[in-house]
Structure 1
Amino acid sequence: MKKITYILILFFAMIMSSCEEDYLDAPTQSTMDESLIFSKHELAKGAIDGIKEVIGQTNSYRGRFLTHYGSNTDIEWNNSTSSNARGDLSRYINSPTNTDMNRSNVYWAMLYTGIERANICIRGLRNYGNPEPGTEMGQLLGEAITLRAIYYADLLKAHGDIVARFEPITSETIYLPKSNRDVIYKQLIADLEEAASLVAWPNETEATSTTEMVNKAFVKAFRARLCLMASGFSQRGNSIRRSTDPELAPEVLYPIALQECKDVIESNTVALESSFETLWRKNCEEVITAGGESLWEIPYSEGRGRHLFTYGVKHQIADQYTGQPRGGTFGPLPHVYYDFDAKDTRRDVTCVPYLWSKSNPAIQELDGVEIWYFGKWRYEWMTRYVTSTNDDGVNKIYMRYAEVLLMAAEIENELNGPTAAAPYLKEIRKRAFLPTDWSEKVDAYVDVLATKEAMFEAIVKEHGFELCGEMERKQALIRWNMLKSKMDEAKQKMDELRNLVGDYFDVPSTIYYGYLSDGETLDIYGLERGESDDKSADYDYQTTWISASKIDDEKINSIYTNNPDENQFWPIWQEFIDNSNGMLNNDPIE
């Protein structure tokens, strides 16, 4: 992420100087500064970079939000059953005094700082920048509006009802209560319509040549996602329901979302990568050229960001691939590998059964069936050797084109039926399977989905196979009103797997393994369904892979402690309640 000039750091420091009343009551100096900053493109551009600066703060996206939100679901969980602050949130134990979160510099404060900076930039650009569509200043205004919407969207999905601030703080608005989330949804949906009219398509201009910059394809796709969130189910007060606001009804928002998806698809400015593995290799290789599958990424410098650190395949010590021995905090649930079709190329990219040994050079070592790792992020795929003790610097892909296709399929199915949805689902599955398998795994599979119910069930499954590990599942399950029911289904699947019954009757209980000629890559027999022959004469090692003791009751029940449907949202952390002048609380808004 680009460095911000000293003058702009000073500008924001002055504007944000604890919101003291004597400053806020003296607008002349602020106006003079804004007229200077926002009438000149380079200075205004630096101010927009200042909105993004909060992303890399220690307890912002970097070390709290992206490293904690999204688990547990029916496909992803915290690999540890230990009782700690992050583990509590994974198990839906949502205390306002959670020790990871209840601190003054956590993401809540950082995102509202970013929102305030965006508000200042939006005001300044409107007043002094002449931000017309197709102009450099218009691009900057569209980016500021979109960044504000990103911060609000993440606060909404984490907390439900939050504080609405769409104007810079004044002495009268230092302290505000929560707003009904519907007010914010409507503002964001309107804002993103404007932003889409201002920003360019990917690679249409230099400003949209990388995935770290906001472009029209992302804004439209993001607006579609927000429409589905706003019109979907969620915990409201003591019940789970849709909004009663007629402007947020599915019949209003679904056509808007569908048109946004179609605009992106028909623009031909973005596309699925040639293979699933190519997509994730590019992410690990830090390729940020726009026009591929990644629509927008949360940008990090080399010394910030903890994505591989948190979600990557685990390395136990510094070795030939990384100077940072981390990864493996979260992983797929034990049954997910076996739920994939064996020919699905996404399976072996997503689900990794090994970690890297404590030797240097390291070799792959089998872990237990109860602990898997997300293979989308691998230090061994990086072109840069990570030396930081706790940051890897790899961008988080915030949204990608595959999600646009899934949303289009879901909405078409709801509005126009399974035949209208089929082409989008087929496009996703064509990338997942080799062309030789398309007849069976794409055409035959999709063509038999003759009812809305059957198509929707297939889309829900496909969403899990495509997005496993990306921490998008929780919010989707919430809006589908399927969070607890799907997690209970996952518990049943784990019970069947450990007993090798039901859908898992043909999973082998014993694994035989050795190493390929490179000396570090595992050669495994017994991981695939039906591989049950005795191969002890052909392999150097064997191990009991599946047993009731490996997936015990404690492990299965660690998927949640408190009812997920009654704890869909995190509370506002006590630090912010205590310092809100009595304006904030965790009482529900009906």
Structure 2
Amino acid sequence: MKKHKLLIAILSCTLSFTTVTSCNDFLDAENISNSNEDQQFDSVADSFTALIGVYNQIIGDDGYGQRLNLYYPQSADDFKTSGDYNCNDRRGLSTYGACTSNPDLNKPFLKLYSGIERANLVIKNIPKSPVYQTGSAADKALMDRYYGEALTLRAMFYYDLIKNWGDVPMQMVPSSDLESVYLPKTDRDVIYDKIIADLETAAQLVPWRSEASVSNTRFSKAAVKGLRARIALARAGYSLRRDPRIMAKGSNSEVYYKIAYDECKEIIEKGQHGLNANFEATFRALHDNTEDAAHEVIFAIGAYGGNAQTDSKIGYYNGMRHSDNSNWKSSGGINAIATYFYEFGKYDVRRDITVASMQINDANQAILATGVLCTDGKFRKSWTSVTGTAQNLAIDWPLLRYSDILLMFAEADNEINGMPSAQAIDAVRQVRNRAYAGNLGQSGTIPTDKAGFFNYIVHERLLEFGGEGLRKYDLIRWNLLATKIAETKQKLTDLLNGTGQYANVPSYLYYKASPYDRTKTAQAALQSVDIYVQPGTTREDVYYTPSVATTPTGYTRINWRVAVTADYISSPLKGYAQYFEANRKELFPIYDDIILSNYNLKQDYGY
């Protein structure tokens, strides 16, 4: 999709969510009205241009270029936004203390509805197109595919709305076809059922990867089915309801577990995608817009153009930090919660890729980060060819990976059968074995009872998808967000005090800076940093051995365990998830001006 220039953008303002004046300011591309809709869809090429216009709404600063994937998923028990609390910016979102005036809540909401409007125009007009009705079989197949992709994109937009705001207005036709644009909220289960049905239709129209020579930045059949499985699990799970305002499961959960099971099983059996033997290579490929060798990334959100509308700040805003005067300036704006490092086993290869415990200084040297300033490491500006102060890096976002298919399959199997089948255990083992490649004896035993297996999956997803924007939403659908926040605060307290499982965590680490070679693997780059190893121990033991009292000659000391303070845990400005309230803060408020523009909307959820 990145190779296609946006020739025409389908933008039709949904007046239920913005005033006429602000709409005209915000939407400055061509508006496709009823008078020229027919012309827009009178050829395959023009219809494809319209579809590109829908795809364009998933990327950019207000989509999966920054806010939807980097701001909104914070915080769970893996990462948090850096900096001090402010209710009117991204840190308000991360601490569960966002005000209804927070501007980061505004344009993503509008952009998602703009995407729905564009998708509605495609969905309405493709069946009416003369190409669809009287064209060749090949052209009709292409139009079917575009129709399926538009259904999928609309489903994705609604899923993003629901998981962040709960019940929202449901609009399944273009605004010009509505009697009134001032729509009330629709129960999310009604929307879920509609989009789950739409995705079933879409899966019949969109080809498998091998049947169409396209990149993973367009929806394939596996991507449609994987998204359907993810949404089905959300429908089966918990969410914050409006009345009464409690976390409650959706009805008929077993139906939706079966949908997730069937979709994932078909993807697995089809064999179009697999686990990349090299965990890091899966993410490296996203930095130069290629596909990993095993096609593990089933769907990636493509970024391009070097601008705020169609590119991403992935790797600049988030990712490993590169100092301002280094060759690669990047902010490292998302920090690993100090305990997350220790959720990984000592020999888990995912740890040093997921949690960047090093950073690059002004002299382009690799140095250690403190215990509270480690960042998410799957995205690194220095893994791209971009240097200098550029913020838009064209790094694609991995929305769906094959490992997710394996773990969703295993979870659904366990729920359906009351215990995991051999196939479910094998699916989890595949993910686990890759993480412990070369050290399989350290990978542990997978439980075979229902509760034990579920808890194992809960933890395995924490390790596998750290920094990929899934964890908070997983915890919500399991009704574990409040539990895990409380557990993490207790773990942070234990780490602060050096007690329990953290009794041997060093207070300090000692290192010597080393030249940074961006071509090295994440683990090799970290290994190049000379970290002081006490006599009688190994490099692997450094993070699990109490530190010596005196800084060794020639080494620099950094705070590791002692970087965690009482303020880091619970202060009003710096605390972790300090404003979270169960049965309220699982969802965001709707931005004030959006409420004011539609008399049928209200905040709900105690805002």
**TM-score after normalising by structure 1:** 0.88
Equivalence for 1:451: 449
Q: Does 1:221 align with 2:226?
A: yes
Offset at 1:471? 1.4
Partner Cα separation in structure 2 for residue 226 and residue 504 of structure 1 = 37
Q: What runs of 5+ residues in structure 2 fail to find an aligned partner?
A: 21-31, 518-524, 534-540
Q: Does 1:137 align with 2:109?
A: no
1:274–1:415 CA distance, 2 compared to 1 (3 A) = same
Q: Does 1:585 align with 2:602?
A: yes
Residue number among 199, 214, 239 corresponding to 1:192 in the alignment: 199
Partner Cα separation in structure 2 for residue 571 and residue 533 of structure 1 = 45
Equivalence for 1:400: 401
Q: Does 1:336 align with 2:340?
A: yes
Offset at 1:534? 4.8
Describe the superposition over 1:457-515 as per-residue Cα deviations: whole angstroms up to 9, x where unpaired: 11111000001111100010001010011011111111111222101112222322124
Offset at 1:555? 0.7
2:491 counterpart letter in structure 1: K
Offset at 1:368? 1.6
Offset at 1:317? 1.3
Give yes or no for contact 1:202–1:290 (8 Å, CA) kept in 2. no
Range with bigger deviation, 121-130 or 413-422? 413-422
Offset at 1:64? 2.9
Matches within 5 A, 1:559-574: 559-565=576-582, 566-574=584-592
Equivalence for 2:187: 180
Matches within 5 A, 1:379-528: 379-382=381-384, 384-387=385-388, 389-416=390-417, 417-420=419-422, 421-434=424-437, 436-438=438-440, 440-442=441-443, 445-446=445-446, 449-516=447-514, 521-525=528-532, 528=542
1:121–1:99 CA distance, 2 compared to 1 (3 A) = closer
1:286–1:523 CA distance, 2 compared to 1 (3 A) = farther
Offset at 1:358? 2.4
Partner Cα separation in structure 2 for residue 244 and residue 355 of structure 1 = 44
Equivalence for 1:270: 273
Give yes or no for contact 2:281–2:292 (8 Å, CA) kept in 1. no
Partner Cα separation in structure 1 for residue 389 and residue 154 of structure 2 = 30
Offset at 1:289? 6.7
Q: What runs of 5+ residues in structure 1 fail to find an aligned partner?
A: 21-28
Give yes or no for contact 1:4–1:50 (8 Å, CA) kept in 2. no
Range with bigger deviation, 257-266 or 67-76? 67-76
Offset at 1:78? 1.6
Offset at 1:386? 4.3
Range with bigger deviation, 52-61 or 372-381? 52-61
Range with bigger deviation, 47-56 or 77-86? 77-86
1:57–1:74 CA distance, 2 compared to 1 (3 A) = closer
1:140 counterpart letter in structure 2: Y
Equivalence for 1:23: none
Partner Cα separation in structure 1 for residue 14 and residue 512 of structure 2 = 62
Could you say what secondary structure the match of 1:100 adopts? Answer: helix
Equivalence for 1:24: none
Q: Does 1:543 align with 2:577?
A: no
Q: Does 1:575 align with 2:579?
A: no
Partner Cα separation in structure 1 for residue 157 and residue 293 of structure 2 = 22
2:345 counterpart letter in structure 1: D
1:136 counterpart letter in structure 2: L
Residue number among 96, 102, 113 corresponding to 1:98 in the alignment: 102
Q: Does 1:122 align with 2:123?
A: yes
Range with bigger deviation, 88-97 or 478-487? 88-97
Partner Cα separation in structure 2 for residue 178 and residue 35 of structure 1 = 31
Could you say what secondary structure the match of 2:211 adopts? Answer: coil
Residue number among 263, 275, 294 corresponding to 2:297 in the alignment: 294
Give yes or no for contact 1:513–1:539 (8 Å, CA) kept in 2. no
Partner Cα separation in structure 2 for residue 575 and residue 296 of structure 1 = 34
Partner Cα separation in structure 2 for residue 544 and residue 31 of structure 1 = 64
Equivalence for 2:380: 378
Give yes or no for contact 2:77–2:484 (8 Å, CA) kept in 1. yes
Offset at 1:407? 0.6
Offset at 1:539? 6.0
Offset at 1:311? 1.6
Q: Does 1:72 align with 2:79?
A: no
1:331–1:185 CA distance, 2 compared to 1 (3 A) = same
1:496–1:296 CA distance, 2 compared to 1 (3 A) = same
Give yes or no for contact 1:234–1:241 (8 Å, CA) kept in 2. yes
Describe the superposition over 1:29-63 as per-residue Cα deviations: whole angstroms up to 9, x where unpaired: 95663333324111110000011223345534434
Could you say what secondary structure the match of 1:111 adopts? Answer: helix
Could you say what secondary structure the match of 1:364 adopts? Answer: strand
Offset at 1:65? 2.5
Offset at 1:313? 0.6
1:282 counterpart letter in structure 2: A
Equivalence for 2:161: 155
Could you say what secondary structure the match of 1:210 adopts? Answer: coil
1:300–1:522 CA distance, 2 compared to 1 (3 A) = same
Could you say what secondary structure the match of 1:189 adopts? Answer: helix
Partner Cα separation in structure 2 for residue 277 and residue 253 of structure 1 = 33
Describe the superposition over 1:260-307 as per-residue Cα deviations: whole angstroms up to 9, x where unpaired: 000111111011112111111112232147961111111111412111
1:176–1:426 CA distance, 2 compared to 1 (3 A) = same
Range with bigger deviation, 63-72 or 234-243? 234-243
Partner Cα separation in structure 2 for residue 585 and residue 408 of structure 1 = 37
Could you say what secondary structure the match of 1:154 adopts? Answer: helix
1:196 counterpart letter in structure 2: A
Equivalence for 2:26: none
1:193–1:348 CA distance, 2 compared to 1 (3 A) = same
Give yes or no for contact 2:15–2:182 (8 Å, CA) kept in 1. no
Partner Cα separation in structure 2 for residue 516 and residue 30 of structure 1 = 60
RMSD of aligned Cα (Å)? 2.6
Offset at 1:411? 1.1
Offset at 1:353? 1.7
Partner Cα separation in structure 1 for residue 14 and residue 222 of structure 2 = 36
Describe the superposition over 1:95-127 as per-residue Cα deviations: whole angstroms up to 9, x where unpaired: 21114334xxx1111111111010000111122
Give yes or no for contact 2:338–2:372 (8 Å, CA) kept in 1. yes
Partner Cα separation in structure 1 for residue 113 and residue 352 of structure 2 = 39
Give yes or no for contact 1:275–1:432 (8 Å, CA) kept in 2. no
Give yes or no for contact 2:360–2:516 (8 Å, CA) kept in 1. no
Could you say what secondary structure the match of 2:542 adopts? Answer: coil
Equivalence for 1:25: none
Partner Cα separation in structure 2 for residue 187 and residue 291 of structure 1 = 33
Q: Does 1:285 align with 2:285?
A: no
Give yes or no for contact 1:118–1:148 (8 Å, CA) kept in 2. yes
Identity %: 29
1:197 counterpart letter in structure 2: Q
